[in-house]
């Protein structure tokens, strides 16, 4: 009897050890990252933006489609769809939600207070908009990257002065919904005094006010215009903004290269694709256990200068070689 019990015990032990590798080989859960985008797959930036983000993941050891799933949702330019798409992603039990553009970030924030949200990127001040408590300690479930820094308008002003050396008065044009923060305005005003330039701020409340804003710039005898970042009025009406600057023969600097592509004199702003690549580092840290509340907001480190020589010639301007040498793109 004892021998039979010993054989039975040995058999159970062998069966248990044989089944152990099977349990150990159970595939680990693959995390899912949702990406919310206001544009469409037909946009010129679609392929490079997606490649930049996925390259960032690969640099950190993730393989899209294998060790991490990436679910993209596109609003196709219909911003009213962003909220539904954000809710759809949250309902799919994603681990992180990456939101591109201020509107997408707002939609994501309205959709969830628990799923970590990575901004890639906020074109406006995320603190001012209430997305985060501060840049150093965001709090809540939102972190990521902002496209703006306090010195951006200063650099734009300096570039404008180089290209328009006779400039003595500039109109800073932006939406009343997105005013310059105190630090940024002080930096701009200090730089203007150093350069011997008078700054005239003109706020636009809606697209209907664009004509009168440029008319005011003419009345103020401005030599040039600095167009601030603003998705509500300026970016939403970029063709019209460029056309009005052209109509009034006002050299203008913008923060997005799309303006220069449309005929604006020049643009100087953050490298969007580098921002999308860097957003992968936030996804990586969050998937490894970091809390969004503790991850500081990053400001841009790479900037791009685009100069439209065709527009410069039409305005009778000669772009200095020193500016052309720094340009990432020159439109001829």
CATH of the domain at 174: 3.40.50.2300
Half-sphere exposure of 298 (CA within 13 A, CB side): 21
Percent of the chain with pLDDT over 90: 71
Q: How many domains does the chain have?
A: 2
**Distance of alpha carbon 123 from alpha carbon 125, whole angstroms:** 7
Residue 150 binned pLDDT confidence (cut-offs 50, 70, 90): confident
Do 203 and 221 lie in a common domain?
Answer: yes
Residue 8 within a domain? no
Do 173 and 317 lie in a common domain?
Answer: yes
Do 105 and 226 lie in a common domain?
Answer: no
Do 167 and 234 lie in a common domain?
Answer: yes
Do 261 and 165 lie in a common domain?
Answer: yes
Residue 323 within a domain? yes
Would you state the pLDDT for residue 309? 98
Do 159 and 126 lie in a common domain?
Answer: no
Do 257 and 163 lie in a common domain?
Answer: yes
**Distance of alpha carbon 88 from alpha carbon 132, whole angstroms:** 23
Q: pTM here?
A: 0.78
- State which residues form the domain around 214: 152-270+304-331
Continuous segment of H or E residues that includes residue 84? helix 82-91
**Distance of alpha carbon 154 from alpha carbon 89, whole angstroms:** 39
Q: What is the mean pLDDT of the chain?
A: 90
Q: In the 8-state DSSP scheme, what is residue 115?
A: S
Would you state the pLDDT for residue 17? 45
**Beta-sheet pairing, 224-227 with 169-175:** parallel
Percent of the chain with pLDDT over 70: 92
- Residue-wise pLDDT for 73-129, tens only, equals 999 888 899 999 999 999 999 999 999 988 899 999 999 999 999 999 887 789 888
Residue 193 within a domain? yes
Residue 57 within a domain? yes
Do 178 and 275 lie in a common domain?
Answer: no
Of 4-18, 187-201, 295-309, where does mean pLDDT reach its minimum? 4-18
**Distance of alpha carbon 83 from alpha carbon 47, whole angstroms:** 24
Residue 287 within a domain? yes
Continuous segment of H or E residues that includes residue 218? helix 210-219
Do 157 and 140 lie in a common domain?
Answer: no
Do 240 and 220 lie in a common domain?
Answer: yes
Do 124 and 76 lie in a common domain?
Answer: yes
């Amino acid at each position: 009897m004892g021998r039979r019990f010993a054989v039975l015990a040995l058999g159970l032990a062998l069966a248990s050890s044989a089944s152990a590798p099977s349990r150990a080989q159970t595939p680990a859960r693959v995390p899912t990252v949702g990406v919310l985008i206001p544009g469409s797959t037909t946009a010129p930036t679609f392929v490079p933006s997606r490649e930049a983000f996925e390259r960032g993941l690969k640099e950190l050891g993730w393989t899209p489609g294998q060790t991490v799933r990436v679910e993209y949702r596109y609003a196709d330019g219909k911003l009213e769809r962003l909220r539904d798409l954000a809710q759809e992603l949250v309902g799919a039990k994603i681990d992180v939600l990456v939101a591109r553009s201020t509107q997408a970030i707002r939609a994501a924030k309205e959709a969830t207070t628990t799923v970590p949200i990575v901004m890639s990127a906020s074109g406006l001040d995320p603190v001012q908009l209430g997305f985060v408590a501060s840049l150093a300690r965001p709090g809540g479930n939102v972190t990521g990257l902002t496209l703006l820094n306090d010195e951006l308008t200063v650099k734009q002003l300096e570039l404008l002065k180089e290209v328009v050396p006779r400039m003595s008065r500039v109109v800073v044009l932006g939406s009343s919904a997105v005013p310059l923060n105190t630090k940024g305005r002080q930096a701009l005003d200090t730089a203007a005094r150093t350069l011997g330039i008078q700054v005239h701020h003109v706020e636009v409340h809606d697209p209907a006010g664009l004509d009168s804003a440029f008319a005011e710039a003419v009345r103020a005898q401005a030599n040039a215009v600095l167009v601030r970042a603003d998705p509500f009025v300026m970016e939403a009406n970029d063709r019209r903004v460029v056309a009005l600057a052209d109509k009034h023969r006002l050299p203008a600097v913008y923060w997005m290269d799309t303006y220069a592509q449309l005929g604006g004199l020049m643009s100087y702003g953050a490298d969007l694709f580098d921002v999308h690549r860097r957003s992968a580092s936030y996804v990586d840290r969050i998937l490894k256990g970091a809390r969004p509340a503790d991850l500081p907001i990053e400001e841009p480190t790479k900037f791009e200068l685009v100069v439209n020589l065709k527009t410069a010639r039409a305005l009778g301007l000669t772009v200095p070689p020193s500016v052309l040498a720094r340009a990432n793109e020159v439109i001829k």
